[in-house]
Structure 1
């Protein structure tokens, strides 16, 4: 595989199982002039597994501002670079945003090398709605700030996806149950693709109990998924269904109006009934 000069490759690496590193990723890591790694020592183990000896430079949250100008200059001069994080897809709750943004601003081609991402792996196996989701990443470490952020997320209708560490998972899950509602369905995914992988589902209240029932349940790296807020009455109705319902309500009682509007538009009668009640209440 020929590696084009002056190109930045954003390379996804395994989140646990080394078998998830794609052949294309190995070819790119072996062929570029330099690898920018979140932790060069951690990446050294992955490269040794693949037999890759490409030079590495450190790029993490504490030095990214300092490192980016020199890396951009190397790209401008025609070198090829690969960006990797310790695990998963770079920039997803990991460093790399400043480098990618600067590269694009400088007209440098940025090529994604897709692969593992913990949030997508967890969502695909969760059994929770996946048509819409909100990735929040890590919540604030302090309890009060964490609860405030959860309050802001309470009305999000898509599935919430959050990352959490082992020493904060119990407190975070309890705050979710208190703030979002203990009855909400959720999934705790622990140590994905690793030996002790667990994917546990249930109500938030029940998951808090499950988590505290065994010390092993709080070990490792976590993805937490929570079903989104239920739609408000009538929120899912089309504009046409609302229009027809309003016309019917002007001529007949709520129950009959909902039934007729459902027959005309095909919208769920119960949704129309709830919306009719809401409209009558406002009137």
Structure 2
């Protein structure tokens, strides 16, 4: 009976490895079966860690948000036959990632799930924010509808104030600046906002300050850069 290994991958491309421990790389190099969010990204990662098996000899199946449930269920057969690695496009599989459905199925069928150590943008941002790490929630993407998004921001701020909770949201990189403008416009001046941009990259930057300070400072360059937004209203 095989195991399902959860393999974190780098959050961006760097020539040198600064994020993955040797143990994670050693285990990944021994696997020949992978379930991945995006094959091109997965193959690039495997070449980056010098996987000894050529791409064409590896078993690779796709699991993304469009993968039918029945196909996800069929992956169990692979795992039962041999140790299998699960990889998202970037960061920790199963966290803000469709791979969670397969992990749940593995548990339901008595298969061993082994999480490996590696980067998670959510935890890295929270660690560096200086905001409450004892009570936090990740909400993923806000609504695309402008009026609904404004309501969600107001709700997140009110809930943060009531529960002393850090609220974490994200946006697709090309819409970061739109979300930034809306947060600065709708949040109260004393609410603290952290922006964590290009985590683990050479141009990484993380800044926490009040909304008032953000509004009176030069607008940050967030266009097409992976970023997380953390809100805390004391």
TM-score normalised to structure 1 length:
0.71
Q: Which residue of 2 aligns with 1:55?
A: 59
Alignment gaps of 5+ in structure 1 = 231-283
Deviations 1:140-193 (A, max 9, x none): 222222222223322232111222223222222333334431321111111111
Spell out the pairing of 1:68-87 with structure 2 (5 A cutoff): 68-76=72-80, 78-87=81-90
Once the two structures are TM-superposed, the CA of residue 124 in structure 1 deviates from its matched residue by 1.4
Native 8 Å contact 1:10 1:90 kept in 2: yes
C-alpha contact (below 8 Å) 1:93/1:138 kept by paired residues: no
1:221 aligns with 2:217: no
**CA distance in structure 2 between the partners assigned to 1:62 and 1:209 by the alignment:** 42
Q: Indicate if the aligned counterparts of 1:11 and 1:82 stay in contact, CA closer than 8 A.
A: yes
When normalised by structure 2's length, the TM-score is 0.85
Q: Which runs of 5+ in 2 are unaligned?
A: none
Shift of 1:86: 1.1
Which one is further off, 105-114 or 129-138?
Answer: 129-138
Q: 1:180 to 1:64 in 2, by over 3 A?
A: farther
Alignment partners' CA distance in 2, 1:211 and 1:42? 35
SS in 2 for 1:168: helix
8 Å contact kept, 1:28–1:82? no
Pair 1:181 & 2:184 matched: no
1:11/1:83 contact within 8 Å kept: yes
Query: Higher Cα Rg: structure 1 or 2?
Result: 1
Which structure's relative contact order is higher, taking Cα pairs within 8 Å and 6+ residues apart? 2
